[in-house]
Structure 1
Amino acid sequence: MDTRELTVVVGSFVGFQLLCSVVSPLLSTTISPGYAQLPSHKHIEWNSRMVSTVHALIVGFFCLYILWFDDVVNANPVWGDPSLVKLNVAITCGYLLYDLVLLACNWSTMGDSFFVCHHLAALYAYGYVLTRGVLPYFANFRLISELSTPFVNQRWFFEALKYPRSHRMVVLNGLAMAVVFFLVRIAVMPSYWASVFATFGTPEFERLGLGAQVAWIISCIALDILNTIWMYKITRGAYKVLMGTRGRKGKDAAECLDKKDHINNHTD
């Protein structure tokens, strides 16, 4: 990792800390009167999700820009010039470190061993990109999934403010979450894996070494299995909402949508 990427990681970490502790409380108090009425532990998670949304939008749109305009990375997905991708990954690494600190400091209310393992694994995988400059296209492609995160966080905001689950905005956000999740996590699978398989047996693939190969392939398989399971649950919930199911089924539908609340507050 060179000085530029290290500076971005540190700057990202500090910036997200300030956004969580200073900017989010001031902004949230102004735009949402209900924020002040929430208990303190809800304030912490609210601010955390505000940061999560900001991170997701920055990284997600940066990913799209790289996919559309970075011809070098697209031409050689394994060893192409990773300059822009490394900046994007550095932002994400700073966010992951910030979130680990936040979880550690608020373990009684927000602590989750799954997220700690997820973050550490992600930092390990992204470390290959920052230190060796490998797999820039694939690292960038995976980060597109962050574009579904704002809808997940928005659903939590509605829930925290006690919006009825039948409220039009809640339903529309839930359906939008399902659509965007499908587009950025499921629909992209064939294209992604076609690119992966195209590298097998090539000199570029062999240069990676076994460690990078295993970390890359195994993590992607596990992630896509989880994405498929989550998509199934979201689809069931969205279908029941659209069909206007009442009673216990309606409650189950909302719970199915709610399952995404904690799964995707963090980066992949």
Structure 2
Amino acid sequence: MFEIFLLNERQKWWRAAMDPFSQLILAISVASFFTFQWLFHSVSPWVSTRVSDGFLRLSHKQRIEWNSRTVSTFHALVVGLFCLYILLFDDAVNEDPVWGDPTLVKINVGITTGYLISDLLLIFYYWKAIGDKFFVIHHLAALYAYYYVLGQGMLPYFANFRLLAEFSTPCVNQRWFFEVLGYPKSSKPNIANGVMMAAIFFLVRIAVMPVYYSRMYFVYGTEAFYRVSWGGRSAWMLSSFCLDIMNIMWMHKIARGCYKVLRSGRQRKAVTQENGKTE
């Protein structure tokens, strides 16, 4: 029985691979991979040396992570904006979240697939500098879920909705940039970025949960739902639950950190004013 299932899956994959549009998505993924490699190895170091003097003072390991985070920020902005456009204007996907026309979603997921494979390669190659088991698991889980979107065109709305989370990435990376450049946690740029990071993280990862799960609830048990393979349903639902548990934990940590920074900033301001009055 299992062998028949594997054979059917291979036949579906082969038919999909022969489709001209699927070949285009494959080309986009490959182009994305090489683009992000180029950005990491050439563009980021060249731009960073001209934008920030602190880049030249970093250690070799720090420069590797700097370039990795720069590429991560670029990917997040490109994919996040594309994702937002689809969410607002792609009626086919919004009206049929399970089997709606996945054309634009596939293009966006293809870009992300190329980035994830590129980032995995860099993580393994520069393991001592940026190696992280969590990121490896995250990337592999994402690629597994995207297989069903790219290979079978299912669940385009939910796959696209998940990419909204990328909007929080630039602020998270900027926090690291400030830290490695020696900015005090109580400095105005750090405080502003911290508040923005907490607000955006909440909006794109926590506040959107009711919308996401309400759509999941309304399609559960429908004919469209049962047309999704068992593997597709598992990748969709289990990954959603696990990811959102982690999002809630991260939100708690971010909120606590933001509160501490704001409180220390107010205390420092109060001390400064008090010293000014004393003098």
Q: Scaled by the length of structure 1, what TM-score is found?
A: 0.90
Q: Which residue number in structure 1 is paired with residue 211 of structure 2?
A: 191
Q: Which amino acid aligns with 1:239?
A: Y
Q: Which residue number in structure 2 is paired with residue 52 of structure 1?
A: 72
Q: What CA distance in whole angstroms lies between the structure 2 residues aligned with 1:18 and 1:83?
A: 26
Give every structure 1 segment of 4 or more consecutive aligned residues whose post-TM-superposition deviation is greater than 3 Å. none
Percent identity at matched positions? 57
1:125-177: CA deviations, max 9, x gaps?
A: 00100000000000000000000000000011111111111110011101100
Q: Which amino acid aligns with 2:24?
A: R
State the secondary structure of the residue aligned to 1:201: coil
Q: Which residue number in structure 2 is paired with residue 119 of structure 1?
A: 139
Q: Which residue number in structure 1 is paired with residue 237 of structure 2?
A: 217
Contact (CA 8 Å) 2:25, 2:110: kept in 1 or not?
yes
Correspondence for 2:258 among 238, 246, 267: 238
Q: What CA distance in whole angstroms lies between the structure 2 residues aligned with 1:222 and 1:72?
A: 28
Q: What CA distance in whole angstroms lies between the structure 1 residues aligned with 2:200 and 2:265?
A: 23
Structure 1 position 117, deviation (Å): 1.4
Gaps (5+ residues) in structure 2?
A: 1-16, 268-279
Contact (CA 8 Å) 2:186, 2:265: kept in 1 or not?
no
Q: Which has the larger radius of gyration?
A: 2
Q: What CA distance in whole angstroms lies between the structure 2 residues aligned with 1:182 and 1:240?
A: 17
Q: Scaled by the length of structure 2, what TM-score is found?
A: 0.87
Q: Which residue number in structure 1 is paired with residue 52 of structure 2?
A: 32
Q: Which residue number in structure 2 is paired with residue 84 of structure 1?
A: 104
Correspondence for 1:142 among 156, 162, 165: 162
CA-atom RMSD in angstroms: 1.2
1:184-214: CA deviations, max 9, x gaps?
A: 0000000000000000111000000211111
Q: What CA distance in whole angstroms lies between the structure 1 residues aligned with 2:40 and 2:229?
A: 39
1:8-65: CA deviations, max 9, x gaps?
A: 1000000000000000001000010110111111111100000000000000010100
Q: What CA distance in whole angstroms lies between the structure 2 residues aligned with 1:131 and 1:7?
A: 14
Q: Which amino acid aligns with 1:58?
A: V
Gaps (5+ residues) in structure 1?
A: 248-268
Residue 85 (structure 2) pairs with residue 65 (structure 1): yes
Contact (CA 8 Å) 2:110, 2:150: kept in 1 or not?
yes
Q: Which residue number in structure 2 is paired with residue 171 of structure 1?
A: 191
Q: Which residue number in structure 1 is paired with residue 38 of structure 2?
A: 18
- Count of residue pairs brought into register by the alignment: 247
Contact (CA 8 Å) 2:64, 2:129: kept in 1 or not?
no
Q: Which residue number in structure 2 is paired with residue 129 of structure 1?
A: 149
Residue 139 (structure 2) pairs with residue 100 (structure 1): no
Q: What CA distance in whole angstroms lies between the structure 1 residues aligned with 2:131 and 2:52?
A: 26
Contact (CA 8 Å) 2:185, 2:261: kept in 1 or not?
no
Structure 1 position 101, deviation (Å): 0.5
1:58-90: CA deviations, max 9, x gaps?
A: 000101000110000001000000000000000
Correspondence for 1:153 among 160, 173, 176: 173
